[in-house]
Structure 1
């Protein structure tokens, strides 16, 4: 486990906020192997309750039973209650804010995630739509295709970003299956490269 918080050395207030934000981020996740955090802004702006933004790179993240290899995000401006922070209380974010960036999944992480009780219904829904079979047995990435297997049948798919959501489109005449979408998340690009699935997009975070 590692943390690399980058803040101006002359700004103890920003350093204090960085520690509070790290704690808040880890509270939202079940696991984070490493987290690099950089704050954008000034002490004066922060004392007025505003941070220009946050950049982070996290690895080995588990969020809501979903294993993520790597996360790279940059936020828009964030409103922060500095009074509580200076009194030694946990950082408090009251207003929603926007983030933009990418997440990377490995085939192994996807396979394990889709076999958890939380995500198994989605995995079964995907192979049912693609193969007419359940349950999902395995997930692999082969030749830049995401391959799902149920019973003794396999289906190679290509991910696509469509209307802000994600589709898995089967090759060789197989249908496309849309994953359930979240109105707060917009997926702008999806690709398979180097044995991983990469999604790029934008999201609205509500504290």
Structure 2
């Protein structure tokens, strides 16, 4: 596992918070291969309980049984209770905050994720809607197409962001299958690039 990258070196308080946030993020995930944080703000603002924001880059993350190849996020201002942190206790985030950025998925990661007990119903729902067959057998990325296979049949799809959620559509625009929408997540753009499915959007995080 790669070491976490150092962050703000100018302020011991910010360094302490960075370590606390790295620990908190890792607690939310089943695995994180590498994690880089950059904190935005000042020690004075932090002592008043406010951080201007956090930039994050993480690689090979597993969150809720979902394998993510790369995550790049930026948060808006965060309210932080630093009293316990300064006393050596875990960082506490008590109020919701907004994030925006990009997450990228490899075909292999998607295929493995959609075969876990947690996500298999979604994988089967996708191929049932696209092919009328189940179960999902494999996921591949070929050029600018996301290819799903069930039994001996396959469907080349184009990912699209529609009204804040993700849809997979056949090459002629039909059929289209919408993935279940999370009211706290808005997907603004979806594309296939460099062998990865990349989703851009924003979300509301409730600690």
Partner of 1:88: 88
The 2-side partners of 1:101 and 1:10 are apart by 26
Q: Deviations over 1:45-93 (max 9, x none)?
A: 0000000000010001000000000000000000000101011110000
The answer to whether the 8 Å contact 1:13/1:43 transfers is yes
Asked whether 1:66 is paired with 2:69, we answer no
Structure 1 segments (4+ residues) deviating >2 Å: none
Q: State the secondary structure of the residue aligned to 1:24.
A: helix
The answer to whether the 8 Å contact 1:138/1:150 transfers is yes
Deviation (angstroms), 1:172: 4.4
Aligned length: 206
Deviation (angstroms), 1:170: 1.1
Q: Deviations over 1:17-48 (max 9, x none)?
A: 00000000000000000001000000000000
The 2-side partners of 1:172 and 1:91 are apart by 50
The 2-side partners of 1:104 and 1:194 are apart by 10
The 1-side partners of 2:202 and 2:143 are apart by 28
Residues 85 and 29 of structure 1, relative CA distance in 2, 3 Å threshold: same
Q: State the secondary structure of the residue aligned to 2:4.
A: strand
Q: State the secondary structure of the residue aligned to 2:25.
A: helix
The answer to whether the 8 Å contact 1:24/1:91 transfers is yes
Alignment map for 1:9-88 (pairs within 5 Å)? 9-88=9-88
Alignment map for 1:126-165 (pairs within 5 Å)? 126-165=126-165
Contiguous gaps of at least 5 residues in structure 2: none
Contiguous gaps of at least 5 residues in structure 1: none
The answer to whether the 8 Å contact 1:106/1:195 transfers is yes
The answer to whether the 8 Å contact 1:144/1:194 transfers is no
Deviation (angstroms), 1:143: 2.0
Q: State the secondary structure of the residue aligned to 2:10.
A: coil
